[in-house]
Amino acid sequence: MSILRAEGISKRFGGLLALSDIDIRVEEGEFVALIGPNGAGKSTLLNVLTGLTPPTAGHIALDGRDITHASTHARVRAGLGRTFQRGRLFGRLSVIENVMTGVANRPGRSGRELRELARAQLARMGLERFAEHAIGSLSYGNSRMVELTRALACEPRVLLLDEPAAGLNSGEVEDLMTRLRAISTERRLAIVLIEHNMGMVMRLAQRIVVLNFGSRIAEGTPAAVQADPAVLAAYLGEGFSHAGL
Amino acid sequence: MADFIQLLMNGLALGSVYALAAIGFVIVYSATGVVNFAAGQFVMLGTFAGVATLVNGGWSLPAGYLGALAAMALFGALFYAVVYLPLRNSPAVTMIIGTVAIGITLQNAALLGFGSWPFRLVSPFEGMTVDIAGAVVPVHAIAVVVTTAVLIGLLWLLFNRTTLGIAMRAVAQDLVAARLMGLKVGALLAFTWILAAVLAGVAGLMLGPMWFADVNMGDPIALKAFAATIIGGFGSLPGAIAGGLFVGLTEVLGAAYVSSAYKDLIAFGAMILFLLLRPQGVFGERIQDRG
């Protein structure tokens, strides 16, 4: 059974159909990439999946349970996690306090235990030495890693990542890829990745879903999607459809 | 010197009350973005909750205080549900008008319920004084300062040492990111309003014996608390404390050493100077830090 399944998702903003009848499913532990040109509806789809934007039509199920009308915090508690395209750390909280917000909803634990839990999460990502630092003092690359740690602290079963590599240098991208692969395997965590870095997408994803103008135009293995004429047309225009990307 | 010590303690006590009112105002503003124009009436309501339980109800002191604070907590929850929730997505001005409307309603409800004749709320330390270097200082004033200091310490622990407080600070900064951490944003915002109302309740109960309990007492408190937050720094907790103490001290010392007619001139004059020269206040952040 798919861990996350969305069927017939449409989202209309006034006259604009941002998402049109999208079906997407993610299996447990699977690595899925969501790609498409700017404005294709990728971030809108993440907003609908996380409950920040209600869909105009369609159903979403997490682990077989319908969550179409569930609140965002209920979805997160049920196992859905997300990071943002432009980092959204709490700037006036320290690094460890940011991670603590992710473990805050564990029942029956004292503040001290939760702090230790957050510290362990940071240690797992090699970020323990930054625990008491202010967010503003982190390098850009480290602040992205803290955001990832914070999202993982909620113990998601599906993690939606919105352009995690944006703005990272090539060394940091390599490091991120290694970590994501390890996290996905170790925790049996399904990852949905929005990313413009095609090299990263092709190396990480087991399956790629391509959106354009709010519609799903292709889906398949990296090799199949790369060869798909509709995808080439979407990225390069009709004239280049046989250019052999 | 003896006079000065006496005035200093009275000023600190009054300043503590202003500081608590300002803290409630700041907590609500940072968490919800709401400029609560009913903040002064919250304090008035706290005083009259004490009048209802202690004077009219004749309850014992502990029961009366607890009852009054429980009523204030309930009022905070009610305010969240009736005013904040329906208006939370409205423009800021609509929300401000909403709080003004509730303020006027509260004031007139108090007038209907308690009448225009002022009440005297008795202090647990009624008539008790201590001698400090020759100055006769009311024990109530010392108790007010100590209570406020303890509350500020507890608030610091809440916001820095407990997950509840850290979650509240997270909600104050970014509602969407807080939701995505699985935080129950609605409950945390409700708790913020409850906390602000209870702090105002404590301020009201402590102020009752210092002033007369008068249904019109809310407006001057609101103005002083507002001046305190501007001087200290809008949205800053240390600023609310420092600003509150400054306003209380200038009010009492100004009345004694300058002129009781011009006692408010100093605090409000300082507020105007701050607005002109340092609008972010003593502890204020630059506006672009909020986002």
pLDDT at residue A242 greater than cutoff 60:
no
The mean pLDDT of chain A is 89
The sign of the torsion formed by the CA atoms of B256, B260, B263, B264 equals positive
CATH assignment of B2-289, among 3.30.460, 3.40.710, 1.20.1270, 1.10.3470 = 1.10.3470
pLDDT at residue B272 greater than cutoff 60:
yes
pLDDT at residue B153 greater than cutoff 60:
yes
pLDDT at residue A188 greater than cutoff 50:
yes
Let me know: does B91 contact B97? Beta carbons within 8 Å: no
B234 vs B50 pLDDT, higher one: B50
**Residue range(s) of every CATH 3.40.50.300 domain in chain A:** 1-79+156-245
Instruction: Look at residue B53 in the predicted model and tell me its pLDDT.
Output: 95
ipTM of the complex: 0.87
Q: How far apart, in whole angstroms, are the C-alpha atoms of residue B255 and residue B262? A: 7
Instruction: Look at residue B286 in the predicted model and tell me its pLDDT.
Output: 55
Considering chain B, what percentage of its residues have pLDDT values greater than 90?
Answer: 76
Please answer yes or no on whether B161 and A111 come within 8 Å at the CB atom. Answer: yes
Closest alpha carbon within chain A to B168: A101
Comparing CB atoms, the residue among B161, B170, B179 nearest residue A72 is B179
Please answer yes or no on whether B181 and A89 come within 8 Å at the CB atom. Answer: no
Contacts of B181 in chain A (CB under 8 A): 76, 101-102, 104-105, 150, 154
Let me know: does B14 contact B151? Beta carbons within 8 Å: no
Instruction: Look at residue B290 in the predicted model and tell me its pLDDT.
Output: 44
CATH superfamily entry for domain A1-79+156-245: P-loop containing nucleotide triphosphate hydrolases (3.40.50.300)
Please answer yes or no on whether A73 and B185 come within 8 Å at the CB atom. Answer: yes
pLDDT at residue B288 greater than cutoff 50:
no
- DSSP string of chain A, one letter each residue: --SEEEEEEEEEETTEEEEEEEEEEE-TT-EEEEE-STTSSHHHHHHHHHTSS--SEEEEEETTEE-TT--HHHHHHHTEEEE-SS----TTSBHHHHHHHHHTT-TT--HHHHHHHHHHHHHHTT-GGGTTSBGGGS-HHHHHHHHHHHHHHT--SEEEEESTTTT--HHHHHHHHHHHHHHHHHTT-EEEEE-S-HHHHHHH-SEEEEEETTEEEEEE-HHHHHT-HHHHHHHH-GGGTTS--
Contacts of A103 in chain B (CB under 8 A): 163
Please answer yes or no on whether B169 and A52 come within 8 Å at the CB atom. Answer: no
Q: How far apart, in whole angstroms, are the C-alpha atoms of residue A98 and residue A146? A: 8
User: Residue B195 belongs to what H/E stretch?
Assistant: helix B185-207
Q: What is the pLDDT of residues B159-181, one digit of tens each?
A: 998 889 999 999 999 999 999 99
Q: What is the pLDDT of residues A222-235, one digit of tens each?
A: 888 888 888 888 87
pLDDT confidence band for B291 (50 / 70 / 90): very low
pLDDT at residue A238 greater than cutoff 70:
no
The Cα of B289 is separated from the nearest Cα of chain A by a number of Å equal to 9
- Determine how many CB atoms are found less than 10 A away from the CB of residue A181: 14
Q: Give me the mean pLDDT over the A116-128 stretch.
A: 93
The sign of the torsion formed by the CA atoms of B42, B43, B47, B50 equals positive
Distances (CA, A) of A53 to A40, A41, A175, B189: 16, 12, 32, 21
Contacts of A82 in chain B (CB under 8 A): 180
Q: What is the pLDDT of residues B189-218, one digit of tens each?
A: 999 999 999 999 999 999 999 998 999 999
Please answer yes or no on whether B182 and A104 come within 8 Å at the CB atom. Answer: yes
The Cα of A126 is separated from the nearest Cα of chain B by a number of Å equal to 21
Closest CA to B226 of B166, B267, B278: B267
Residue A70 structure tokens: 């569930």
Q: How far apart, in whole angstroms, are the C-alpha atoms of residue B223 and residue B37? A: 9
A47, A48, A62, A73: which to substitute to probe chain B, counting the most B Cβ within 10 Å?
A73
The Cα of A52 is separated from the nearest Cα of chain B by a number of Å equal to 8
pLDDT at residue B228 greater than cutoff 90:
yes
Contacts of B163 in chain A (CB under 8 A): 100, 103-104, 111, 114
Let me know: does B227 contact B1? Beta carbons within 8 Å: no
Residue A221 structure tokens: 């293995």
pLDDT at residue A114 greater than cutoff 50:
yes
Q: What is the pLDDT of residues A73-86, one digit of tens each?
A: 999 999 999 998 88
Residue B136 structure tokens: 């006769």
Q: What is the pLDDT of residues B81-136, one digit of tens each?
A: 999 999 998 998 999 999 999 999 999 999 999 998 999 888 989 889 998 888 89
Closest CA to A83 of A149, A131, A167: A149
Closest CA to B267 of B236, B219, B218, B232: B232
Contacts of B169 in chain A (CB under 8 A): 90, 92-93, 97
Q: Give me the mean pLDDT over the A123-151 stretch.
A: 93
Amino acid at B130: V
Residue A101 contacts B where some CB pair is shorter than 8 Å: yes
pLDDT confidence band for A196 (50 / 70 / 90): confident
Closest CA to B291 of B185, B140, B133, B175: B175
pLDDT at residue B71 greater than cutoff 90:
yes
Please answer yes or no on whether A92 and B181 come within 8 Å at the CB atom. Answer: no
Q: How far apart, in whole angstroms, are the C-alpha atoms of residue B253 and residue B263? A: 8
Please answer yes or no on whether B163 and A100 come within 8 Å at the CB atom. Answer: yes
Closest alpha carbon within chain A to B162: A111
Portion 137-196 of A in contact with B at CB < 8 A: 150-151, 154
Half-sphere CA count of A35, side-chain side, radius 13 A: 27
Instruction: Look at residue A57 in the predicted model and tell me its pLDDT.
Output: 94
Instruction: Look at residue A236 in the predicted model and tell me its pLDDT.
Output: 66
Residue A111 contacts B where some CB pair is shorter than 8 Å: yes
Q: What is the pLDDT of residues A33-92, one digit of tens each?
A: 999 888 889 999 999 999 999 999 999 999 999 999 999 999 999 999 999 888 899 999
Instruction: Look at residue B283 in the predicted model and tell me its pLDDT.
Output: 86
Please answer yes or no on whether B176 and A91 come within 8 Å at the CB atom. Answer: no
Closest CA to A213 of A12, A1, A19: A19
Contacts of B177 in chain A (CB under 8 A): 84, 88-90
Residue A188 structure tokens: 């049996």
Q: Give the best-scoring range by mean pLDDT among B65-74, B134-143, B268-277.
A: B65-74
Please answer yes or no on whether A92 and B161 come within 8 Å at the CB atom. Answer: no
pTM: 0.88
Instruction: Look at residue B264 in the predicted model and tell me its pLDDT.
Output: 86
Residue A206 structure tokens: 């087991």
The Cα of A159 is separated from the nearest Cα of chain B by a number of Å equal to 11
Please answer yes or no on whether A111 and B162 come within 8 Å at the CB atom. Answer: yes
The Cα of B243 is separated from the nearest Cα of chain A by a number of Å equal to 22
Comparing CB atoms, the residue among A90, A111, A151 nearest residue B170 is A90
The B-side interface with A (CB below 8 A) comprises 161-164, 166-167, 169-170, 173-174, 176-185, 289, 291
